Amino acid sequence: MKLVIINYGAGNIKSIQFAFKRLGIDAILSDSPEEILAADKIIFPGVGEASSAMNMLKETGLDVLIPQLKQPVLGICLGMQLLCEYTEEGNTKGLGVFKTNVKRFDNNVKVPQMGWNVIKELKSDLFKGIKENEYMYLVHSYYAEHCEETIATTDYGLNYASALQHKNFYGVQFHPEKSSLAGEQILKNFLAL
């Protein structure tokens, strides 16, 4: 199994690498198109601000490469949001894999949402063995609107898509690498896809 974590300068990828190491997989950090194309599975991480993250992707040409990938790809947090059509954060055009937009939470809730919330209405092999209303760790100020590709939802002031899937592309708003045993199960499920 060759697992590549796309390394484009965005945030805390060490935690993702360690989480896979705990599962016995040595993930490779790389921004090389050759290496990414040769992977069996790909993680597209991201913590930070959307427009600067997108600029970093553009500088390396990864914005063109990523939507064309054929292997299972898992976008985590901002990685998932960047796979959408558009995000209000920094008025940023996304990679357009998921046919939905990303908006900022209203101020009727505290922003960012920080902590453990439940995921429900689960529908994907990604959630095999995960029970409805399982807790996941989330930290985010922007959320993806529902669309046909929604495979999990979460409530925070409103009901939004906390996971998405389009063909070989999967996206999760929560951090499986920081979500205790249930999070580990989701990473295992991704490896088994």
Partner 1 sequence: MLTKRIIPCLDIKNGRTVKGVNFVDLRDAGDPVELAKQYADMGADELVFLDISATLEARATTLDMVLHVAEQVNIPFTVGGGISSVEHVDALLHCGADKVSINSSAVKRPELVNELADKFGSQCVVVAIDAKEVNGNWKVHLAGGSIPTDIDLFEWAKEVEQRGAGEILFTSMNHDGTKNGFANEALAKLSTLLNIPIIASGGAGNVQHFVDTFKDGKADAALAASVFHFGEIPIPELKKELKKHNIEVRL
Put residue 15 in one of left, alpha, beta given phi > 0 → left and psi -120 to 50 → alpha.
Answer: alpha
Question: Please, which of residues 10-69 interact with partner 1 by CB under 8 A?
Answer: 11-12, 14-15, 18-19, 21-22, 47-49
In the block, tokens 């894999």 appear at 97
Min. distance of Cβ 86 from partner 1 in angstroms? 19
Cβ proximity to partner 1, 145 vs 184, nearer residue: 184
Give the ranges where 61-101 is alpha helix by DSSP (H): 62-65, 78-82
Binding piece for partner 1, criterion CB under 8 A, among 26-34, 80-88, 135-143, 166-174: 135-143
Where is 191: in which H helix or E strand? helix 180-192
Length of the chain: 193
> Which phi and psi (to 5°) does residue 147 adopt?
-155, 180
Min. distance of Cβ 148 from partner 1 in angstroms? 26
Min. distance of Cβ 37 from partner 1 in angstroms? 26
CB of 149 within 8 A of CB of 166?
Answer: yes
Q: Residue 75 and residue 132: Cα distance in Å, rounded? A: 21
Interface residue with partner 1, options 135, 158, 168, 193 (CB under 8 A): 135
By the rule CB under 8 A, 156 interacts with partner 1: yes
Indicate which residues carry an active-site annotation. Answer: 77, 175, 177
Binding piece for partner 1, criterion CB under 8 A, among 27-35, 62-70, 137-145, 166-174: 137-145
Cβ proximity to partner 1, 15 vs 168, nearer residue: 15
Min. distance of Cβ 162 from partner 1 in angstroms? 12
- What CA–CA distances, in Å, run from 9 to 30, 45, 54, 127, 159? 10, 10, 11, 29, 31
Interface contacts to partner 1, rule CB under 8 A: 11-12, 14-15, 18-19, 21-22, 47-49, 107, 110-118, 135, 137-141, 155-156, 175, 177-181, 183-184
